[in-house]
Amino acid sequence: MRLGIMSDSHEHREKIIQAMNIFNSENVDLILHAGDIISPIMCSAFQLSKTKMIFVYGNNDGERIFLKQKIEALGYIIFPGRYEFEFHNKKILLMHEPDALDALIKSDYYDLIVYGHTHKIDIREGKPFIINPGETCGLITGKATVCILDFDTMKVEIKNL
């Protein structure tokens, strides 16, 4: 099983399309977006995904009602704040801002914590496994990235857009 992980797409349609193409060609089983889509107009790029997507809102997502409607119309789901779920017997926490990240790590409750917000890649192996895929948009760091996590090997591959 493979997870596609992205964050901070910030209305960069071309980079979102590139991310969807990578995730589709890599046959990921689920895509997680850790927030900051910004505009509901970007949702048309997410419809290129061939698999299920789960989103959380970011601190820059302003038009949340319309964004939620557009995402749900595509058959995906978006959650405010943090979203906890199980995927292949692993407890996962998806969030945008890394609030209380150190405490969450020390809790030893989650197997995987995915966050965004900082626009910086952060990969920490162990329990919990921590992933910040960096920024999909490439506007702050100049480096547009997404990640693919192989659940069988727990290896992360960073993909440049």
pLDDT tens for 79-103 read: 998 999 999 899 999 999 999 999 9
pLDDT in tens, 32-74: 999 999 999 999 999 999 999 999 999 999 899 999 999 999 9
pLDDT of residue 35: 97
CATH code for the part of the protein at 2-160: 3.60.21.10
Q: Residues with Cβ < 8 Å from 144, sequence gap 6 or more?
A: 12, 15, 18, 134, 135, 136, 137, 138, 160, 161
> In the chain, what is the straight-line distance between the N-terminal and C-terminal CA atoms, in Å?
22
What does pLDDT average to over the chain? 96
% of the chain at pLDDT higher than 90: 96
Can you give the pTM of this predicted structure? 0.97
- The CA distances from residue 30 to 2, 43, 62, 97, 101, in Å, are 7, 17, 25, 21, 23
